Chains A and B, each alone.
Chain A
């Protein structure tokens, strides 16, 4: 079991959570956001943060592996096209290292082949950028086992 309930200081604001106590702070769930485009990554992190979660930004699969090496991740939200290692390879690698958490794959365009590969490794959800980003509003609490 992963000790995955610690607050990170990697993205230092939480909209609407300023009045919560220290005990509640420990419960804030951490979402690894892997996206190579700087503006898009910041936007997604802002959205995740506004929902009350702690976004852990990573601009590459390699950085994501480093960011999650302590195992303190509750959900992985990753782009597909990342460079040397794509989003599916990243998810497989993270699982290999013992991080078995819900995963969301996002992309502007996904071929049938990639969709099939995502299904084969049981990705929790696939969303299209940017039109499906609003779906995170329901997806994140659902996948994190919280009431919507």
Chain B
């Protein structure tokens, strides 16, 4: 039996080597491209808006960005040389006081929640939920709290710097707590375990191991919280920061104004010079915020540890 070996049909040629064909191969169809362009446009609108806003503020405020701004006080009679010294100093006072009060308390609360709290206990879980809710309460409500309990009876401080700083402390506290908790949580458990295994107590571990490792994250979060406090106008308006302050703050019980409040009060002034002045003060405010944010980014990039 002669086996005639017929030539087998040739197999189909192997697919050319290259990436596996998936749907992304069709990504250059017009519809796909159009979709991507529309999405990018959404993002671009926000960024262009930001650029226009900053450009407009700079152009409007530039003519008044002079030494008078820092050395003179508000003046109804001479708007062209009036300055915002009281507002700038008021903002600095408020910033320092708010930091001094909010950071220690906020970090303590974060340490408690991360290192000590037993999550199975209902009160600890409630505290967490309450903090999350407080972080989203509108700032105007904190102003109401300040007006109703701090400025008038029962604390009856009056609309002074201490009252303003207290209100802003309560306002930023949830933000400080949440960001500090994240920083503490990022410290790996084996660092704690190592410390505890060497015989350190819980408190020693927190003080000498956990907190030093978490400080860059805590600092970044606190600075960002502080920049929120500096930009707030609504709570200060409500507790009754003074409208036309022509004197620098002298102490905790001094009446005061801040940059955002001063800017708000200039809105209702009819003269064009006051509008320019307001824009110059906005530049000062934005520069302060820019410095704080750059500092936060610097700390994060320079000291943040990736474990």
Does A associate with B in a complex?
Answer: no
